[in-house]
Amino acid sequence: MRSFVRIIIPCLTVLCLAIPVLGQDTSRSAAVQLKADSIPLQREDIYPYASLQQLLKGNAAGVYIQEPSGEPGSVGSIFLRGTAIPFLSSKDIYEAQPTVILDGIPLIMDHPFTFDIQSFDYNHLGPATNLLSAIDLNNIATVEVVKDFGRAAIYGPRAANGGVILITTKAPVTGRRKISFNTYFGIVQRPGIFTTNAKFENDFRQKFYDKYATTEQQQTYPLYLRDSTNSAYYGPSNWTDLYYKNKPVYGVNASLSSGTDRANFMFAAGNQRSSNSADNTRMDRYNAMFEINMVPLHNFTVSAMISASRLERKRNTWLRDRFAEMQYLPDLSNPLAPNKQLYGQYLHEYTKSFDDNKTNEVSGYFKLNVTIADDFHFNSNFGFDYNEGVRDVFYPSTLLETVNYLSNYFGYNQRVYFNNTLTYHHKGLTIEGGEVFQSDYNRYNYAYAYKGPNDLIRINLLYSDNTQSNYLSPKSFNHALIFSFMDKQRHRLLSFYGRMAYNYNDKLDFSVLMRADGSSSAQPDNWWMYSPTFTAGLNLKNTWLKDYNNINNLRLHASWGRVGRLLPDDRFGEGPQYTSDLSFSNNPVRFSYNGFPGISRAYSSGYIGYGITWPYTDQLDIGADASFLSNRINASLDVYNKIDNNMILGVPFSAEYGYTSQFKNGMKVRNQGIDLSVQASVLPRNSKLQWVPGINLNYNRNTLLALPGGLQQLVVGDKLLQVGHSIDQYWVLQNEGIYNRDSDIPVNHTTGKQLNYKGIPILAGDPRWKDLNNDNIIDDKDKTLKGHVMPVVSGGFSNDIYWRGFTLGVSFYYALGRKIMNAEMANHFDFINREGKIDMSAVKEITFWSKAGNYDKYPVYNPWSTVDAYRTDQDLFLENGSFLKLRNLSLQYDLSRAKWWKRKYALTKFIVYATASNLFTITPYTGGDPELTDYNGFDTGYGLPIPKTYTIGLKMDL
């Protein structure tokens, strides 16, 4: 908390000293206008959303939200109009995220460069908290998703990932005082779980042992399953009483706003707790915001805002994440027992550890708005966004074979930007010119240590004798192992743009934008990227349809634009280089040994040569916006064709010299699709009962058009990128059953050789995989691309019913045409290869003692087979992951609408409400929640459930 105070106090002090000359553009309306891709917050802020991702889910066409876990504060992903980046590692997800702009401030997110020193990429190092959770939705007026390059291209490279997300905060009121208050309290409900014990697991495995096991294999039966009298494993499986619990959630927000047209302000503060019913996880947010506008001179407006948030996160207790953090694996022969008493003893030892995760975020701006003449306006904007994450971890020796562990992470992301715009507007003509400078800086420091002197001393001891030369030097930790790392990334972007737009009597309009962007991460001979954008619109209502009274608005629009894509790493701007791997510890990368630089192969991050040029995105968008029947029906339709050109990909290169890959331009990906939004007021306006249904959807398909060097296909890990196919498909063998007898296995009549898998004979009990090329060999040539990780169709639909101050809201969220790899089920069947090894695949969480799905629908392969019969690169575990989910159900009543209330009370609004979230999911998927998959579409069973949440609350304005 002290570090948070050290940041806030200076910022507030500077702001208070500057109050006489600060202000905000008072031309911004506090009213919320519903646009095609705009989400009003009056109704949405009654739901206990903890992040921007949760708000956007199902509420805007073309937006797909991927939540790998329901754990509060965990990172979720936002995708606008699909993705053009193949997800080959966790780092690629960070590169695919759109820019979020808060009141003109482009927010900076975590940089994925910590993955360079991680053996496992389950989580980003540090608190790994969703930074968009720092935004208090109570303070937001609208969230608008801008995907059309006709508008988004003015943001340059920040719009490359499908567009930008614009957040507008509530403006201060003028001419009066306004006090707003919103609070809620509720619970998250524990789920019902089918628990198992050793008897259930033994019965599951017995059929495999009876059919395939040799005498030697029978004798290696796991010890924890061998003794049926062992009550720790064969007794009651009641661990869920400690793991799943009903947990409270609450939130409170208050704001004060007042002023005149010459000076006004708003101050808001809030606190929110988000919880999950599983594993005692939660996140607390504390936030404050101050905004002020002043007009000291006529036609001269000064504005400022500062916002600060503190996020404190209590993380899961998974063994996998703990071992990944420690980079140390113990003996994994015996898993945690499902017995409540024994599991409770483990949790008691866990309480001797600590895992503190804190994130601080501060952002703000200072703006000048000057009207030079009637037609000339000048705007200057200076802003910043800063966030820092701290994680302190300690695990006692009782949790890990008498070896204790300690680590500390501190990292921060800093963005400063400055832009100036001069605008000329006369009648229908607008000419605008501007420059933008943005400077980003990312840095982290990380250290970990084993074998401290004991579990009570968690810091370095110092020699304190000031007569000795080693005064204040750290003592030896009795052969303690200490490792430390640090890294930084720096990027600067300088941009200039000019725009001309003309609107002829609100009938015909067009615009031209030309932008030049210079990036410090680009190579010296390709620093600058020049990108044009053209737009045109035709208002049919004001031209040929004036006499059609049932048509209130019908506008056609089209745009074509080009936007440069920033290189993801500042190393690209340095020319030929590599990153060496000096793996003296379990970390994959060390840049030196005892402080001395060293060089070693292999260079796993890839060789960067000359000739790297800017990737860029071209998008054609054609659409229509329409209103009918006195604006009772509003619709928006967009058809788009987006092509990402010249993208960079690591291509296998010069392995004999130690390089694993070389970064090259040349990848080309196309996304085509349709965005549709429709909202209607079904009943007559004069009716006391109103029903307003709405639906939005996005149809999207991506296609790989080219690979670097003219390649037609490229294998990267377990992924196949093939020209003409989608980049988000699974590369799998096709399963056609089982070989029950050796005589059923095909034999090549020419060579006399039996069917084999990459040289390994296939025997009875092995899968019957389809031999696509009929060469009697099952290998990668027989794999095929199937399904999609991303949904083909996604969106949401809602119904709002209004009657005499009551509002009933029902909203659904859906995703269609996606597949899920049920890796949790595959791992359960692959018990032979995942038993007793000192390997991450052998880790069994307490949730191992729950049923993963329907085991009876899978064939009984030989689990000892050398072809790895239950591997995940086959379509045996590939399932339909489509779903329909009831996201929210709410009922609210506005007492201030009652006549007796208006006569007695001065409150202008007093709403009481109740909400229920995530009530049910309809899906053909046989595993867990179909939302909870990782970036590759794998359901590993590690995502905490998205809980059912029930809240009651009130909102009032004075």
Task: Catalogue the E-assigned strands of 681-729.
Answer: 689-706, 713-716, 719-722
Supply angle C-alpha 385, 387, 390, rounded to 5: 170
Distance of CA 556 to the CA centre of its chain: 34
Distance CA 302, CA 381 (A): 10
Closest CA to 741 of 719, 766, 713, 761: 766
Are 376 and 353 in contact, with CB atoms under 8 Å apart? no
233: left (phi over 0), alpha (psi -120 to 50) or beta: alpha
The type of residue at 523 is Q
CB within 8 Å of 605: residues ≥ 6 apart: 116, 578, 579, 589
- Tokens 């307490």 locate to 846
Long-range (24+ apart) CB contacts under 8 A made by 494-497 are 494/435, 494/436, 494/437, 494/438, 494/518, 495/156, 495/435, 495/436, 495/437, 495/438, 496/433, 496/434, 496/435, 496/436, 497/154, 497/156, 497/433, 497/434, 497/435, 497/436
Closest CA to 225 of 907, 835, 938: 835
Q: Which two tokens stand for residue 490?
A: 């720096």
Tens digits of residue pLDDT in 621-655: 999 999 999 899 999 999 999 999 999 999 987 76
What is the arrangement of strands in the sheet containing 140-146, beginning at the earlier edge strand?
38-40, 140-146, 164-169, 99-102, 105-106
DSSP state of 734: P
Distance CA 245, CA 797 (A): 31
Closest CA to 951 of 159, 357, 248, 44: 248
Distance CA 541, CA 544 (A): 6
Distance CA 869, CA 208 (A): 12
- pLDDT in the model for residue 62: 93
Are 461 and 449 in contact, with CB atoms under 8 Å apart? no
**Could you count the other beta carbons within 10 Å of the beta carbon of residue 382?**
16
- pLDDT in the model for residue 30: 28
Are 489 and 441 in contact, with CB atoms under 8 Å apart? yes
DSSP-derived pairing of the beta strands 713-716 and 793-803: unpaired
DSSP state of 87: -
Distance CA 679, CA 661 (A): 50
Distance CA 811, CA 885 (A): 9
Distance CA 713, CA 707 (A): 7
Distance CA 245, CA 748 (A): 59
Q: Which two tokens stand for residue 867?
A: 């072809």
Local structure of 62: helix, strand or coil: coil
For the chain, list residues with pLDDT below 70. Answer: 1-44, 457-480, 578-604, 655-658, 900-905
Distance CA 312, CA 876 (A): 41
Local structure of 672: helix, strand or coil: strand
- Largest CA-CA distance found in the chain, in angstroms, rounded: 98
Are 619 and 645 in contact, with CB atoms under 8 Å apart? no
Closest CA to 820 of 856, 791, 782, 848: 791
Are 564 and 160 in contact, with CB atoms under 8 Å apart? yes
Distance CA 807, CA 801 (A): 6
Percent over 70 (pLDDT), the chain: 89
Q: What Cα–Cα distance (Å) separates residue 65 from each residue in 83, 110, 190, 890? A: 12, 18, 24, 22
Local structure of 44: helix, strand or coil: helix
Entry field: residues in the chain: 958
Q: Give pTM, 2 decimals.
A: 0.91
